[in-house]
Amino acid sequence: MMKAGKMADLLNVDAALERILAQIEPLQAEDVTLTEAFGRVLAETVTADADWPPFASAAVDGYAVRAEDVAQARPEQPVRLAVSLDIWAGRVAERPLGVGEAARIMTGAPVPEGATAVVMVEDTDAAWGDDPKAASLEQVAIYQAAQAGQNIRPSGENARMGQALLAQGRVLRPVDVGLLASLGRASVGVYERARVAILSTGDELLEAGQPLEAGKIYDANRYALEGLVREAGGAVLPLPIARDRVESVREVFQAALAAHPHMIISTAGVSVGVADVVRLVLDELGQVSLWRINLRPGKPLTFGYVRGLGGHVPFFGLPGNPVSALVTFDVLVKPALLRMMGRQDKPRYAQAIAGERMTSDGRRSYLRVRLHEEQGRLVAYSTGTQSSGALMSMVLADALLIVPEDVLVIEPGAEVQVKYLSE
Ligand code: AMP
Ligand code: MG
């Protein structure tokens, strides 16, 4: 077991993250129907298996013509064509368009062979524009000349055969699912959702809804972390609160393992107090691989694994203070969770100006800040107390301001880096 030490013995945040990520394996892929695909992570690169759409279609209601037949058409000297075809959306013309002929055509209907342009109904003497069910004319007067290709959506306008459309690792947005549907896909390969067991530990914790008792507090961490896990695309396994005794923590760990989690996250009980039993249980059921990070808040963060039924389950022991738990999740757990689910997106950083004086203790600090645009610059202000127990400091925050290692004071006006808290 690693021993508590001075600041110099603490593990650098970037090195810790690298070591954590090296131990994270991507989950399996699974096929889901399009109804379940929104928000999931693509496990395949989707390519067009044909030119899409596969046929040229009318972009307006009107008349498909041979452009050269109407080259001389003008309002005062219309060209009259025989209407030989009537093509509705979803139907294909029974024969090609002949010279001197027009085909009545509806938006989205396939352009018949031989036609090179579509003249919109407003540029003809046809009156069915208001009533497409009206019978077609025997003859139509065309009032405007048409260029070849006019009002025709070419085949392959959306995608060319073999073209990569959606890359592996992409989180599927509504429009992506629409695209998949338009390509005729009924299902898609996505990474499995990470099943995450979140366990709160502490004698002082009450479940939401229980009457308040002297000296007790409500469990906030599990609810906040559940939201973060779900926001990252994971699913949360329900567990009871563990008490500050080895038997209780062991029991809840075993309940977690029985649900076949892909990751276990606990909060509290990883400091050096006498009641900090999580690490004792971890020594028994798995192994600690790193502990004590040069991070503020979040120094006691513990990472390791628990021996599960199907192999090693990555384990994060987060500090108990709610802000510490959320910051360490953001900095170290979320990247692991995203990697597990195959996601390629990276955290969003920005350069900002410190709006006020801020201090640190030499560890890399993540301070809760609000961001304001002032004269085209992003200015960061503290959200108030930076106590790691004060959840409101996090509620009010847009971003975390990163104070590098060994920096004790940030003066107003200094250039700083901020990390956005939501995408
Ligand atoms: P510990 O890591 O056990 O020393 O806890 C550090 C601080 O976080 C203590 O003030 C705990 O009461 C508080 N704390 C621990 N777990 C939670 C929780 N689930 N929700 C809110 N506060 C907590
Ligand atoms: Mg405690």
Expressed in angstroms and rounded, the spacing between residue 209 Cα and the centre of ligand 2 is 21
Residue 268 CA: nearest ligand 1 atom is 2
Q: Which ligand is nearest to the CA of 268?
A: 1
Q: Are 350 and 34 in contact (CB under 8 A)?
A: no
Which residues are bridge partners to 188 per DSSP?
32
Expressed in angstroms and rounded, the spacing between residue 275 Cα and the centre of ligand 2 is 6
User: Is 121 in a helix, a strand, or coil?
Assistant: helix
Burial class of 398 by CB neighbour count within 10 A (0 to 12, 13 to 18, 19+): middle
Residues with C-beta atoms within 5 A of ion ligand 2:
202, 268
> CA dihedral in degrees (349, 351, 357, 359; nearest 10)?
40
Quote the CA–CA distance of 201 and 216 in Å, as a whole number.
Answer: 13
Q: Which ligand is nearest to the CA of 321?
A: 1
Which helix (DSSP H) or strand (DSSP E) does residue 224 occupy? helix 221-231
Q: Are 264 and 336 in contact (CB under 8 A)?
A: no
Quote the CA–CA distance of 194 and 200 in Å, as a whole number.
Answer: 19
User: Average pLDDT per run of 10 along the chain, which is 423 residues long?
Assistant: 56 97 96 98 96 96 98 97 96 97 97 98 85 74 97 96 97 98 96 98 96 98 97 95 96 97 95 83 94 94 94 96 98 98 93 98 98 97 94 97 98 98 81
Q: Is 328 in the pocket of ligand 1 (CB under 6 A)?
A: no
Residue 267 CA: nearest ligand 1 atom is 16
Quote the CA–CA distance of 236 and 220 in Å, as a whole number.
Answer: 15
Q: Is 298 in the pocket of ligand 1 (CB under 6 A)?
A: no
Quote the CA–CA distance of 120 and 370 in Å, as a whole number.
Answer: 54
Q: Is 355 in the pocket of ligand 1 (CB under 6 A)?
A: no
Quote the CA–CA distance of 68 and 149 in Å, as a whole number.
Answer: 12
Residue 241 CA: nearest ligand 1 atom is 19
Quote the CA–CA distance of 7 and 324 in Å, as a whole number.
Answer: 18
> CA dihedral in degrees (213, 218, 219, 225; nearest 10)?
180
Structure tokens at 225: 């972390």
Structure tokens at 367: 């301070």
Q: Are strands 263-267 and 195-200 parallel, antiparallel or unpaired?
A: parallel
Residue 204 CA: nearest ligand 1 atom is 12
Q: Are strands 377-382 and 364-374 parallel, antiparallel or unpaired?
A: antiparallel
Which residues are bridge partners to 159 per DSSP?
52
Quote the CA–CA distance of 371 and 78 in Å, as a whole number.
Answer: 64
Quote the CA–CA distance of 30 and 194 in Å, as a whole number.
Answer: 12
Q: Are 41 and 136 in contact (CB under 8 A)?
A: no
Which helix (DSSP H) or strand (DSSP E) does residue 80 occupy? strand 79-87
Q: Is 224 in the pocket of ligand 1 (CB under 6 A)?
A: no
Q: Give the global pTM.
A: 0.89
> CA dihedral in degrees (323, 326, 328, 332; nearest 10)?
-170
Quote the CA–CA distance of 297 and 70 in Å, as a whole number.
Answer: 75
Expressed in angstroms and rounded, the spacing between residue 399 Cα and the centre of ligand 2 is 27
Residue 4's pLDDT is what?
A: 41
Residue 344's pLDDT is what?
A: 86
Q: How many CB atoms lie within 10 A of CB 417?
A: 15
Residue 272's pLDDT is what?
A: 76
Q: Is 223 in the pocket of ligand 1 (CB under 6 A)?
A: no
Residue 177 — φ and ψ, nearest 5°? -65, -40
Expressed in angstroms and rounded, the spacing between residue 383 Cα and the centre of ligand 1 is 21
Q: Is 284 in the pocket of ligand 1 (CB under 6 A)?
A: no
